[in-house]
Amino acid sequence: MITHSGYAVEPWSLRETELNLDLLSQSESVFALSNGHIGWRGNLDEGEPHGLPGAYLNGVHELHPLPYAEAGYGYPESGETLINITDGKIIRLLVDDHPCDVRYGELTAHERVLDFRTGVLRRTADWTSPAGLSVRITSERLVSFTQRAIAAIAYEVEPLNGSTTVAVQSELVANEQMPHLTGDPRVAAAIDCPLMPEEDFAKDTRLRLVHCTRHSAQRVGAAADHLIDGPEGTTWSAESEPDVSRLTVTSTLEPGRRLRLVKFVGYGWSVERSLSAVRDQVDGAVAAARSTGWEALLAEQRAYLDNFWSGADVEVDGDAQIQQAVRFALFHVLQAAARSEERAIPAKGLTGTGYDGHSFWDVESFVLPLLTFTAPQAVAPVLRWRHATLPAARDRAHQLGLAGAAFPWRTISGAECSAYWPAGTAAFHINADIAYAVLRYVAVTGDVTFARGPGLELLVHTARLWHSLGHHDPEGVFHIDGVTGPDEYSAIARDNLYTNLMARRNLTAAAELASRHPDRAEELGVDDEETAAWRDAAARIAVPYNAALGVHEQSAGFTGFQHWDFAATSAEQYPLLLHFPYFDLYRKQVVKQADLVLAMVTCGDDFTAEEKARNFAYYEALTVRDSSLSACCQAVMAAETGHLRLAYAYLGEAALMDLENLEHNTRDGLHIASLAGTWMALVLGLGGMRQHESEDGGIGPLGFAPRMPEQLSGLKFTVMVRGRRLRVDIRRSTARYVLEEGEPLHLLHHGELLTVSGDRPVERPLPPARVLPEPQQPKGRPPADRSPTGAFDGDEDSD
Ligand code: BGC
């Protein structure tokens, strides 16, 4: 084991051996458990102390008015906020008559371990009460990947210094009192008491609460059942009131004897179903979990994860911390998405209420690339969620006077929730990001049913949006004016290059797919004239370029703006959005996050190698990385342009965003896009994996251009492509492609076409990287230089 400031560095787990109350909120986020449907923050079992209590159900939110000092047409009137639902993880403990609370008495030992292979959070704590009685608490917690509605806890208490009477109170608590949150505008507004009681119940070992949200009218049910194992004389009783349902177990424990409680918690919600239907749903889920039993739930969890890791694991040789971080990242991205099933994936997953629990383009542009290649079965449900919101997106487009569909910049339900137009609805690129995610998914899986169905509809309606949003100038050039690209320090620009290139692909691919499925196209009212117009717009789309500087422009005119005065900007003034007015950011050359650099990743075939090198250097000098979505994109392009030291530094930043709390807001939830970006930095960056564009706007063969920074000695990863499992094993000077499953596969290695088959792995040398002068970042903004933390000793497979 290697240790560093926060957590022990281990290959397959995250271990904390000291409880630092100042870092409680942060640790609650990193130890959060979720299956994409239920989310439990890593709160201590006894509920307090806490940074932010959190139990979430994907989609359960409350509405609140969005106030405007100056109203405008088309401004969304109602906001949506993820709410803390009934907390089923609370198990309070009284040791004699002292509540176990680590702020009192003495915590003599503490450990929490999140195990990425078993999907279990384990805690042990030795606590001595103010009266001098010592107990050991052991708990294991999981949110089930296999039983979507279920979370469970095995909790044990044993005395350490003499006979002790304990009372364990296992609860369901609604409307938990929330702590006061910070004034940072990006932090979710806490909503007081969002749940109105409908029913409470407690009998024997069973508990249940049903509530309804006040404005969004979502009915939320939570139920629990328990197995109790204690010495003779152990007694229990259950009681309930509107916001609390409680099982109290009391026992007198002699040294060596334990009281053990297994708690199965079931959740469900609906806007449609009746009280009795929701009640039955949660009771049924709990009864099923109880009959499965704790050990079998653990076994199912392990089997689910074994399967995931067999197609998703990434091995990094030479840097143990990055190795741990990438598995932590993969685990949390899986948790955010695995069972979200036609619901959104919030920017923070279900680990906290940051960004009000909203979903952004983070889903399609960061999370889905990873899932498409590692857990493709989880992707269609996410895209189906987008598709289910198509009616709302079409209404929004209509409201804006546009054709097709305008998907929301931030949302829970599908309605636009951004109250800030320039960095909200104007970020129209999200529509092309969705279209590209469809293309990527279809190319990688060959899912024709999806392509013909929801896929085509998404492409058609987004193509219609682009066509109506843009216009041809007198020379015929197609411009898209008044949009905001990924860089939120520029807004309402003409011809944002990222947007235009992504829109071009969207238009071409929609036309192509429509011609491949004429019957479906006809149903959608698409005719030849319309597809010809899309193709024409795509062919003539503006690509802003400054010939004098030899670089592309992020948007038309951008390179003519005044440069931001980085020399006069102090470290404390970042992020700039909290210290400078937007109007000043908008009119100067300063970039919040990868924008044109991301265009060179997603639309790489639209640039020559020389253009990429020059563009990268130019925009590096302007990019301040005030968004966690930036470092991973910069890592990819740094690797492609041969700046391997820089790529490695950016990889470190993306990978450690939450483990080292680099943006100081991990307390509000994890940065799911940056976690997914860790995979991007490794696989797209060092692995150089790209899906090249095909003639028809679709996606052609998979290419790799591996590169190895001198700090690392190896990188292995697996990708799933069209039912095949390909293992890529990169060493210092060679890359080996091994087909572990499926039919022979054509791929590119640094441009050379190879065929890999099950019995014929292919090995090729790595060409030397070009040596170019390393680009400069704005003053004070280079990524921290990284020194590798070494490799793990011995068997990597052991904990
Ligand atoms: C970024 C957006 C991102 C959002 C949610 C913002 O700071 O600028 O690109 O979608 O965070 O992660």
**Better pLDDT: 368 or 68:** 368
d(CA 142, CA 157): 18
| Nearest Cα to Cα of residue 506 among 445, 452, 440 | 440
Does residue 647 fall inside a structural domain?
no
Instruction: Quote the CA–CA distance of 184 and 540 in Å, as a whole number.
Output: 43
Is the link from the previous residue into 391 a cis peptide, with omega within 30 of 0? Answer: no
**Same-domain status, 92 and 224:** yes
Q: For residue range 431-444, list pLDDT tens digits in order.
A: 999 999 999 999 99
- pLDDT, one tens digit per residue, over 495-551 is 999 999 999 999 999 999 999 999 999 999 999 999 999 999 999 999 999 999 999
pLDDT at 3 over 60: no
Q: Decide if 320 is inside a domain.
A: no
CA–CA separation, 325 and 307 (whole Å): 20
- Cα separation, 123 vs 597, whole angstroms: 43
pLDDT digits over 744-785, tens only? 999 999 999 999 999 999 999 999 988 889 999 999 999 999
User: Cβ(304)–Cβ(145) under 8 Å?
Assistant: yes
Q: Are 294 and 152 within 8 A, CB to CB?
A: yes
| Least confident among 151-160, 617-626, 727-736, 766-775 | 766-775
Q: Is 112 left (phi over 0), alpha (psi -120 to 50) or beta?
A: beta
> Do residues 671 and 332 make contact, with C-beta atoms less than 8 angstroms apart?
no
Residue whose Cα lies nearest atom 9 of ligand 1: it is: 486
Q: Which amino acid is at 654?
A: A
- Which of 509, 543, 577 is where one domain is finished? 543
pLDDT tens-digit profile of 556-607?
999 999 999 999 999 999 999 999 999 999 999 999 999 999 999 999 999 9
| pLDDT for residue 798 | 40
Confidence of residue 693 (pLDDT cuts 50, 70, 90): confident
Nearest to 382 by CA among 333, 344, 335, 435: 344
The DSSP bridge partners found for residue 39 are 34, 56
In a domain, 271, yes or no: yes
- Which domain-ending residue is among 494, 521, 543? 543
Please state the length of the chain.
799
Check whether 791 has a pLDDT greater than 80.
no
- 101 located within any domain: yes
> How far from the centroid of its chain's Cα atoms is residue 253's Cα?
44
Q: What is the pLDDT of residue 70?
A: 87
- Atom of ligand 1 lying closest to residue 347 CA: 12
Q: What are phi and psi of 701, to 5 degrees?
A: -65, 155
Report the nearest atom of ligand 1 relative to the CA of 423.
Answer: 8
Return the pLDDT at 695: 66
Q: Which residues are catalytic?
A: 488
Strand partners, 703: 690, 748
Give the list of residues 6+ apart from residue 633 with CB closer than 8 angstroms, or none: 593, 594, 597, 598, 601, 677, 680
CA 1 to centroid of ligand 1, rounded, Å:
35
Side chain identity, residue 659: L
Residue 795 has pLDDT above 60, yes or no: no
Domain extent at residue 748: 714-765
**How far, in Å, is the centroid of ligand 1 from the Cα of 354?**
11
Distance CA 203, CA 205 (A): 6
pLDDT tens per residue, range 203-254: 999 999 999 999 999 999 999 999 999 999 999 999 999 999 999 999 999 9
Nearest residue to 64 (alpha-carbon basis) of 408, 578, 423, 415: 415
- Nearest CA, atom 6, ligand 1: 627
Calpha distance 159→95 (Å, rounded): 9
Cβ of 525: how many Cβ atoms within 10 Å?
9
- How far apart are alpha carbons 521 and 513 in whole angstroms? 9
Question: Which atom belonging to ligand 1 lies closest to the Cα atom of 673?
Answer: 12
Measure CA of the first residue to CA of the last residue in the chain; give whole Å: 9
Residues 617-666: pLDDT tens digits? 999 999 999 999 999 999 999 999 999 999 999 999 999 999 999 999 99
CA of residue 626 to ligand 1 center, whole Å: 9
624 Cβ below 6 A of ligand 1: no
Q: Is the pLDDT of residue 677 over 50?
A: yes
pLDDT tier for residue 697 given thresholds of 50, 70 and 90: low
- For position 2, what pLDDT does the model report? 56
Q: In sequence order, what are the beta bridge partners of 691? A: 702
Q: Are residues 119 and 241 in the same domain?
A: yes
Instruction: Please give the Cα distance from 493 to 490 (Å, whole number).
Output: 7
575 upstream amide cis, omega within 30 of 0: yes
Q: Which of 624, 627, 672 to mutate to test the pocket of ligand 1 (most atoms within 8 A of CB)?
A: 627
What pLDDT is attached to residue 290?
98
How far, in Å, are 60, 67, 404, 603, 673 from residue 77 at the CA level?
19, 8, 22, 36, 28
CB count, 10 Å around CB of 217? 10
Distance CA 523, CA 15 (A): 55
Nearest Cα residue to 490 out of 562, 434, 401: 562
In a domain, residue 140? The reply is: yes
Q: Is the four-CA dihedral 286, 291, 295, 296 of positive or negative sign?
A: negative
Tell me if 489 CB under 6 Å of ligand 1.
no
Within a domain: 200? yes
Q: In sequence order, what E strands does 18-85 have?
A: 33-34, 38-40, 55-57, 61-65, 78-82
pLDDT tens profile 190-206: 467 899 999 999 999 99
DSSP 3-state assignment of 252?
Answer: strand
Number of structural domains found in the chain: 3
In this predicted structure, what is the pLDDT of residue 38?
98
- Interhelix angle for 456-469 vs 497-516, to 10°? 130
CA of 792 to the centre of ligand 1 (A): 35
Alpha helix (H) ranges present in 364-446?
A: 368-374, 379-388, 390-399, 429-445
Q: Which atom of ligand 1 is nearest to the CA of 360?
A: 10
The verdict on 288 and 435 lying in the same domain is no
Mean pLDDT of the 346-365 span: 97
The pLDDT score that the predictor gives to residue 140 is: 98
360 lines ligand 1 (CB under 6 A): yes
Location of structure tokens 């050039």:
477
Q: Band the pLDDT of 788: cuts 50, 70, 90.
A: confident
**How open is the CA angle 261-263-266, to the nearest 5 degrees?**
175
Residue 472 lies in a domain: no
- Judge whether residue 307 has pLDDT over 70: yes
CATH number at residue 128: 2.70.98.40
346 C-alpha to center of ligand 1: Å?
A: 11
Q: For residues 134 and 260, state if they share a domain.
A: yes
pLDDT over threshold 60, residue 335 = yes
pLDDT at 182: 45
- Residue 766 has which token pair? 């790595």
Q: Are 274 and 195 contacting, i.e. CB atoms less than 8 angstroms apart?
A: no
Mutate to test the pocket of ligand 1, among 333, 361, 418, 488 (most ligand atoms within 8 A of CB): 488
Write the single-letter amino acid at 354. G
Q: In whole angstroms, what is the distance from residue 124 CA to residue 106 CA?
A: 14
d(CA 740, CA 375): 16
**Ligand 1: distance of its center to the CA of 788 in Å?**
29
112: nearest Cα among 8, 17, 4: 17
The verdict on residue 491 lying in a domain is yes
Tell me which residue has its CA closest to atom 11 in ligand 1: 627
What's the pLDDT score for residue 6? 73
Atom of ligand 1 nearest to the CA of 362: 10
What integer best gives the mean pLDDT of the chain?
95
Side chain identity at residue 59, one-letter code: G
Contacts of residue 587, defined as CB under 8 A and 6 or more positions apart, other chains included, come to: 561, 562
Question: Please, is 28 exposed, middle or buried when counting C-beta atoms within 10 Å of its C-beta (0-12, 13-18, 19+)?
Answer: buried
- Residue 552 structure tokens: 């592309």
The last residue of a domain, from among 307, 323, 354? 307
Give the CA distances from residue 73 to residues 76, 84, 399, 484, 643, in Å, rounded to whole numbers and listed in that order: 9, 32, 9, 19, 47
Encoded tokens for 339: 């069972």
- Summarize pLDDT for 389-408 with one digit per residue, the tens: 999 999 999 999 999 999 99
Residue nearest atom 7 of ligand 1, based on CA coordinates: 627
Kindly list the distances between the CA atom of residue 577 and the CA atoms of 419, 573, 625, 796, in Å, as whole numbers in the listed order.
16, 9, 12, 43
b (16+ CB within 10 A) / e for 149-168:
bbbbbbbbbbbeeeebebbb
For a mutational test of ligand 1's pocket, the pick from 186, 488, 629, i.e. the residue with the most ligand atoms closer than 8 A to its C-beta, is: 629
- Answer yes or no: is the C-beta of 355 below 6 A from any ligand 1 atom: yes
Cα dihedral value 456, 461, 463, 468, nearest 10: 160
